[in-house]
Each structure stands twice: as C-alpha cells, then as structure tokens.
Amino acid sequence: GKPLVIAIDGPSGSGKSSVSKEVARRLKLAYLDTGAMYRALTWYCLNNGIDLTDGAAVEQASKTMPLEISTSTGTEYVAVNGTDITEEIRDPRISSSVSAVATTLGARTELIRRQRRLIEQHHHRMVVEGRDITTVVAPGAEVRMLLTASEEARLRRRGIQLGGTQSKAQLAAQVIQRDAKDSTVVNFTQAADGVVTLDSSDLDFEETVDIALNIVGKVI
C-alpha cells in the first residue's frame, strides 16, 4: 500500500496510547509505542546498575540494549535480552526514572534511529505514538496529530488507569512533574506547523477515536 504514517504526540494521560492502538486496529496498521522504548531503556539501565545521571553511560546502554518490541496491533510485548518486561515497564519505579533517560540526548538519538528503522521496516505504514513523533521522528508523516486534554481530565484518566488508589496529590506529582521534566527536551504541549490538535477533554474514548479516524480520512 501507499505510505501512511500516523504520528500522534501528547502528554501523559491524554489517552494517546489507547486512541493510537484503536486507530491502528481499525485501519489494520502496525503500531509503535515509543514511550515503551524509553521505559525499556530505563529498565535496562536500572538492571545494569547504570547511573542515570551519567549521560555517556546511558547513551552507551541505548546502543547495546537488545530490545524486542511488538509492532503488531493487539499484542503488547516488550523484551530486553529475552526477558519479558511488558508489565514491569509500567511500574512507578520506571515511570519515576524515565525522564532522566529521555532527557539524555545521545540516548534519544539512538532510540529515534531505531524508531525510524522500524517505520521503514513496516514500509511507512504505521501508527507511531510518543512525544516527538510529529516534530522529530517522522515530521513528514502523512497524518500528524497532537492529542491533548486538560490537566483535570488527564489526572482523572490516569487515576482510573492506576486503579483509583492514589491521592490527587500523588497523581499530580507523577503526571505533571514527569511532563514538566519531559518538556525540557521535547515540546508536546503546542502543535507544530501542520499538526492537528485534538482536544479530548470533553470527549469519551469512542468520540476521540472517531475524530482521529476522520482526520486520517481527510488525507487518504
């Protein structure tokens, strides 16, 4: 088929992952969760005793990490060196350290290189989700979207996702502080030129997916 890269960026709790997966499923496209790659690298560094403030060591780890990531819709699978870490990379231990890894520029360069290679391997037919996909990884994507939501909506969704056991202050610490750290290296709060903003604050999941599919429909 013709190239169809759908790049979707947004902050945490915006519904980015669930919406991206559903768009991929509906369009029968491959799906890449780039956040999972930063999480896997964080896991790999922590498990190898690498100091996350040592940029050169983190960069080196990004190059040697034997990462396996599923790109087929509906099968979430992330492994490093044969160890299945699909679930573990969602742990607070990883979430609280991932920004340190993601702000290491050398490691970003390497992960971006791997992401572009995966897009090529899928003949440029893929939904790719993250923070810098519309701007850095695939600025030439056929469809570029910024999925946003109010802080209130994002905290509510993340709270539900984590089982509703955390206080609002705990959630805010996790979501808002991580976004603040991440935004020191990538701008995912404002849409770049040519990027469509989809604000899901007052939309439910189905409505958001419908609008996203409509945006895609306009270019294909």
Q: Is 38 in the site for ligand C5P (CB under 6 A)?
A: yes
* Residues contacting 16, CB < 8 A, separation 6+: 8, 9, 10, 129, 147
Rounded to the nearest angstrom, the gap between the alpha carbon of residue 132 and the centroid of all alpha carbons in its chain is 9
Provide the token pair at 217: 């429909």
Q: Is 163 annotated as a binding residue?
A: no
Shortest Å distance, C-beta 186 to ligand C5P? 6
Q: How far is the CB of 98 from ligand C5P (least distance, A)?
A: 4
Question: Are 71 and 126 a contacting pair, CB within 8 Å?
Answer: yes
CB of 202 to ligand C5P, least distance (A): 22
Interacting residue with ligand C5P among 71, 182, 200, 212 (CB under 6 A): 182
Annotated ligand binding at 55? The verdict is: no
Cα→Cα distances 219→71, 141, 146, 186, 208, Å: 23, 11, 16, 26, 18
User: Taking the complex as a whole, how short is the minimal distance between the CB of residue 82 and ligand C5P, in angstroms?
Assistant: 22
102 binds ligand C5P (CB under 6 A): yes
Q: Which is nearer to ligand C5P, 15 or 211 (CB)?
A: 15
15 labeled part of a ligand binding site: yes
Size, binding site for ligand C5P by CB under 6 A? 15
The verdict on whether residue 49 carries a ligand-binding annotation is: no
DSSP-derived letter for residue 91 is S
Question: Using an 8 Å Cβ cutoff, are 24 and 127 in contact?
Answer: yes
Candidate ranges 23-31, 46-54, 97-105, 193-201; the one touching ligand C5P (CB under 6 A): 97-105
Annotated binding-site residue? 106: no
Smallest separation, CB 204 to ligand C5P (Å): 21
What's the CA gap between 201 and 220, in Å, rounded? 27
Nearest to 148 by CA among 179, 188, 178: 188
Residue 72 counted as an annotated binding residue: no
| Rounded least distance, CB 187 to ligand C5P, Å | 11
Residue the block writes with tokens 């850095």: 136
Here the tokens at position 26 are: 């509906």
Interface with ligand C5P, residue 39, by CB under 6 A: yes
Q: Please, is 65 exposed, middle or buried when counting C-beta atoms within 10 Å of its C-beta (0-12, 13-18, 19+)?
A: buried
Is 95 annotated to bind ligand?
no
- Contact between 99 and ligand C5P (CB under 6 A)? yes
Residue numbers belonging to the annotated binding site for ATP: 10-18
Q: Which residues are near ligand C5P by CB under 6 A?
A: 12, 34-35, 38-39, 98-99, 102, 130-133, 178, 182, 186
